[in-house]
């Protein structure tokens, strides 16, 4: 075992949190500096991993293996491939930015940053573990810090923050209960006693009956689907984001949600291909509901965070339909789009959080002309907005395009509906941005200063990724493809011959 890069990246925020516990509560700057430092380490290490990944070699790299619970076959197995690397990088990009987006948190900052660092570590752990058990441990670690952060630092608007926090928590946990039953069933069915293991790559080689795969995939779909805010399990998402403090909205919409999509692909598709094929048409239909229905609701929202909240539900529909296509192109698009949406929504929430912090309003009719007073924040909002509607040259154009190519072959009608929903997306994004940023100068906003110093970090970091990945899509797409193609190719025969529910409609 060489240099344990992934473990260090994972432990950095945890060590940071431990150190923070011994820092006096009133040393705000120190607390924030420590948080930034340790998330920075993780960010640098994940950049090293991303650009140090050897395409020629492929497969899992930076592998670490340590027998953890021998009795039941749990291994502390870390490793990243083309599917998990973009997610790892995304986590740390957003985690690092989230620390700076919380630079002005002065209410009990110590507790805040301890929880934030634990949250980041938890999310990171899910993406880099190759063991289902360890994956699950990290998966639920995140829920509790999330809840506490929402109820302490959240905001009460349309719903109280307690309601929002609890709704978010209960949805995720009930989903995870189904997921857990699915995971245990998978573990028990894959191998006989004595050979059992939680290693995902071993599970993928197990022979499981078709009916079992169909049953287990349904459980996983409920679990991961509710995390991904799949229709009809989506209603926690807008309420939750609206109630949450900026950093939590960023991490939740940006990466946590993506664990759902990641899990569906990594465990659902690669371990249970027959089950995935069986349920794919259902997923595709629900995906269209996500895309079209949530976009239309977003159109009617007057709270900026609700607009972005519903928009993120809508975008998850694209991920789902890309997944449901079950071909290399579609899955490539789904993963790339998770990355793209993560960057974009995190930037969106960071900027909304900044504007809200200054003006204390997110109510669109009360705002206007903010580009006069806050040009930098306006740039951030515009970039995020343009990315959201899929403007070429920004990060999300290529992924969405790829998804449509992949999905059109399989579901021409549904894909067409999804494509046309882009018009609605453009409509609500442009409408919201126009009302908030442009129009005549409003004197009541003159007192507010534009973003400066540390407040600019999220804009710079996320904004540059947005543009960079837009201009050089191969940076992202090659990586994703290197993970998806070798995994999916051997499964294509199974996928093509397996039956789909209702004959695929």
Contact residues toward another protein (CB under 8 A) are: 68-72, 108, 111, 136-141, 143-144, 147-148, 151-152, 162, 166, 169-170, 173-174, 176-178, 180-181, 184-185, 187-188, 193
SS3 61: strand
| C-beta pairs of 63-69 under 8 Å, 24+ apart in sequence | 63/130, 64/1, 64/4, 64/6, 64/7, 65/1, 68/131, 68/133, 68/134, 69/133
Compute the distance between CA of residue 451 and CA of residue 379 in angstroms, rounded to an integer.
11
CB of 418 within 8 A of CB of 317? yes
For the CB of residue 174, give the shortest distance to another protein in the complex, in Å. 5
Q: Which residues of 399-438 are buried (b: 16+ CB within 10 A; e: fewer)?
A: bbbbbbbbbbebbeebbeebbebbebbbebbeebbebbbe
Nearest CB to another protein, comparing residues 147 and 348: 147
For the CB of residue 237, give the shortest distance to another protein in the complex, in Å. 18
Nearest CB to another protein, comparing residues 166 and 467: 166
Phi-psi domain of 113 (left: phi exceeds 0; alpha: psi -120 through 50; beta: other) = alpha
For the CB of residue 165, give the shortest distance to another protein in the complex, in Å. 8
Nearest CB to another protein, comparing residues 151 and 307: 151
Compute the distance between CA of residue 479 and CA of residue 451 in angstroms, rounded to an integer.
34
Q: 496 vs 146, 201, 410, 500, CA distance in Å?
A: 41, 21, 12, 10
For the CB of residue 69, give the shortest distance to another protein in the complex, in Å. 5
For the CB of residue 225, give the shortest distance to another protein in the complex, in Å. 16
Cα three-residue angle 143-145-147, rounded to 5 degrees = 70
Compute and round to an integer the Cα radius of gyration of the chain: 21
Nearest CB to another protein, comparing residues 176 and 237: 176
Nearest CB to another protein, comparing residues 57 and 193: 193
Nearest CB to another protein, comparing residues 121 and 295: 121
Q: First vs last Cα of the chain: how many Å apart?
A: 49
Nearest CB to another protein, comparing residues 171 and 397: 171
Q: What are the tokens at 415?
A: 């894909």
Nearest CB to another protein, comparing residues 144 and 427: 144
Handedness of CA 225, 286, 345, 165 (dihedral sign): negative
For the CB of residue 462, give the shortest distance to another protein in the complex, in Å. 30
For the CB of residue 499, give the shortest distance to another protein in the complex, in Å. 24
For the CB of residue 10, give the shortest distance to another protein in the complex, in Å. 13
Compute the distance between CA of residue 98 and CA of residue 311 in angstroms, rounded to an integer.
20
Is 106 buried (19+), middle (13-18) or exposed (0-12) by CB count in 10 A? exposed
Q: 343 vs 30, 292, 349, 384, CA distance in Å?
A: 27, 22, 10, 8
For the CB of residue 107, give the shortest distance to another protein in the complex, in Å. 11
Nearest CB to another protein, comparing residues 137 and 282: 137
For the CB of residue 68, give the shortest distance to another protein in the complex, in Å. 7
Q: Which residues pair with 74 in a beta bridge?
A: 69
Which residue in 16, 201, 25 sits closest to 116, CA to CA? 16
Nearest CB to another protein, comparing residues 72 and 423: 72
């Amino acid at each position: 075992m060489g240099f344990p890069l992934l473990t260090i990246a994972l432990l950095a925020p945890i060590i940071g949190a431990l150190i923070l516990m011994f820092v006096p509560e009133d040393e705000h700057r120190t607390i924030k500096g420590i948080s930034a430092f340790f998330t920075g380490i993780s960010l640098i290490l994940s950049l090293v991993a991303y650009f140090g990944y050897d395409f020629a070699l492929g497969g899992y790299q930076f592998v670490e293996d340590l027998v953890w619970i021998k009795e039941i076959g749990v291994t502390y197995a870390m490793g990243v491939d083309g599917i998990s690397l973009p997610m790892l990088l995304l986590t740390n990009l957003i985690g690092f930015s989230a620390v700076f987006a919380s630079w002005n948190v002065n209410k009990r900052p110590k507790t805040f940053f301890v929880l934030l660092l634990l949250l980041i570590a938890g999310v990171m752990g899910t993406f880099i573990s190759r063991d289902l058990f360890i994956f699950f441990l990290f998966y639920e670690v995140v829920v509790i810090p999330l809840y506490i952060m929402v109820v302490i630092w959240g905001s009460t608007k349309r719903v109280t923050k307690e309601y929002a926090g609890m709704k978010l928590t209960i949805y995720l946990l009930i989903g995870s209960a189904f997921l857990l039953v699915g995971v245990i069933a998978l573990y028990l069915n894959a191998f006989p006693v004595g050979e059992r293991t939680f290693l995902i790559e071993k599970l993928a080689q197990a022979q499981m009956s078709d009916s079992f795969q169909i049953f287990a995939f349904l459980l996983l779909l409920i679990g991961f689907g509710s995390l991904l805010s799949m229709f009809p399990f989506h209603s926690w998402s807008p309420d939750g984001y609206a109630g949450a403090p900026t950093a939590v909205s960023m991490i939740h919409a940006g990466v946590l949600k993506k664990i759902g999509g990641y899990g569906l692909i990594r465990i659902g598709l690669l371990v249970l291909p027959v089950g995935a094929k069986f349920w794919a048409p259902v997923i595709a239909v629900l995906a269209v509901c996500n895309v079209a229905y949530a976009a239309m609701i977003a159109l009617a929202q007057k709270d900026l965070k609700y607009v972005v909240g519903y928009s993120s539900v809508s975008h998850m529909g694209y991920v789902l339909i890309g997944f449901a296509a079950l071909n290399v192109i579609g899955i490539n698009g789904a993963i790339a789009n998770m990355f793209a949406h993560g960057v974009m929504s995190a930037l969106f929430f960071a900027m909304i959080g900044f504007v809200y912090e200054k003006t204390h309003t997110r109510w669109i009719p009360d705002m206007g002309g903010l580009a006069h007073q806050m040009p930098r924040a306006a740039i951030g909002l515009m970039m995020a907005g343009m990315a959201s509607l899929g403007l070429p040259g920004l990060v999300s154009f290529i992924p969405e395009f790829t998804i449509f190519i992949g999905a059109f072959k399989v579901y021409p009608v549904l894909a067409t509906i999804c494509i046309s929903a882009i018009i609605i997306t453009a409509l609500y994004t442009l409408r919201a941005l126009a009302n908030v940023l442009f129009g005549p100068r409003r004197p009541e906003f003159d007192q507010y200063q534009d973003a400066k110093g540390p407040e600019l970090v999220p804009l710079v970091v996320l904004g540059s990724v947005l543009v960079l990945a837009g201009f050089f899509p191969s940076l992202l797409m090659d990586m994703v493809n290197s993970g998806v193609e070798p995994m999916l190719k051997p499964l294509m025969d199974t996928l093509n011959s397996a039956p789909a529910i209702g004959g695929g409609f």
